Amino acid sequence: MPSLDDLQARIGHPFRDPALLRLAMTHPSISHELGESQDHNQRLEYLGDAVLQLVLSRELYDRYPQHDEGPLTKIRAQLVNQVSLAEHGRLLGLGEHLILSRGERLNGGRERPSIIADAFESVLGALFLDGGYDVARAFVLHCFRDEFTDVENAANADNPKGVLQEILQAASSEAPQYQILAATGPDHDRNFESAVLYKGEEIGRGSGKSKKLAEGQAAAAALERLRAKNSPAK
């Protein structure tokens, strides 16, 4: 098994108490295999999960002042899931450092996403105990730095009307206005066409099976137009 010194270097924190990091790498299967009370990483996982939720909740609170609890919770859920945490754990090489029972090793435990995700949270718990909140926070923000951009784009895609209004009203108190231009098709299968206007000028147009969807598509088209206009020429 590789030295824990290698893992500390990847984490970017020299542990004052390396036993904490070793504990974070100790899977509960060890206790079951030995048939005795053996310390393992579940308590650190519990702590790390709480720290992760706090760090991300505060970061999202600061990043998205326009969002209420619902959208913030949705964005956080995109960041904190087993797939995401397992990927972060793989990037750190946690699998090769795991202390597993023989049965778990033979059954591919070093590559199992649930085990690696739990180990990632355990490492975060160990970091919190060894270095404090600021160290744990810096670690989380470094790990998730690229994902914030992805979820921001996703959040914007979910609420194009809100994003458009926020951008436009940053420059003027005037809000965008929406007009339904046409409604076609039978009553059970209507299609609406909408335009969004700003200061009397049409800035986007869209269509959909409801007025709300048509207005959202119009807002999305306006956002694309604004981004293209503000993008530096190549």
Does one domain contain both 11 and 48?
yes
Active-site annotation holds for 111: no
pTM, rounded to two decimals: 0.65
139, amino acid identity: F
Res. 125 pLDDT band, cuts 50 70 90: very high
- The whole-angstrom separation of Cα 106 and Cα 232 is 54
Q: State whether 68 and 95 are in the same domain.
A: yes
Which entry of 45, 104, 118, 121 is annotated as an active-site residue? 121
- Are residues 145 and 187 located together in one domain of the fold? no
Of 117, 135, 157, which closes a domain? 157
Same domain, 101 and 10: yes
Number of domains in the chain: 2
SS3 98: coil
Residues 131, 187, single domain; the answer is no
pLDDT recorded at residue 15: 96
CATH number, domain with residue 129 = 1.10.1520.10
Q: Of 157, 176, 197, which residue sits at a domain end?
A: 157
Residue that finishes a domain, picked among 157, 178, 201: 157
Domain check: are 123 and 59 in the same one?
yes
pLDDT tens per residue, range 86-106: 989 999 999 899 988 888 888
Residue 33: active-site member: no
Residues 192 and 151 in one domain: no
Q: What's the pLDDT score for residue 78?
A: 79
- Do 153 and 186 reside in the same domain of the chain? no
Amino acid, res. 159: N
Which among 55, 23, 19 is positioned nearest to 143, based on CA atoms?
55
Same domain, 116 and 180: no
How would residue 167 be classed by pLDDT, with cut points 50, 70 and 90?
A: confident
Token pair, residue 82, equals: 């087993």
Distance separating alpha carbons of residues 230 and 38, to the nearest angstrom = 59
Residues 176 and 220 in one domain: yes
pLDDT, tens digit, 9 for 90 and up, residues 41-76: 999 999 999 999 999 999 999 988 877 888 788 888
Q: Are residues 153 and 167 in the same domain?
A: no
Residues 6 or more apart from 216 whose CB is under 8 A from it?
160, 161, 206, 208
Domain CATH number, residue 172 = 3.30.160.20
Residue numbers of the domain that contains 195: 160-230
Note whether 152 and 170 are same-domain residues.
no
pLDDT in tens, 168-178: 887 788 889 99
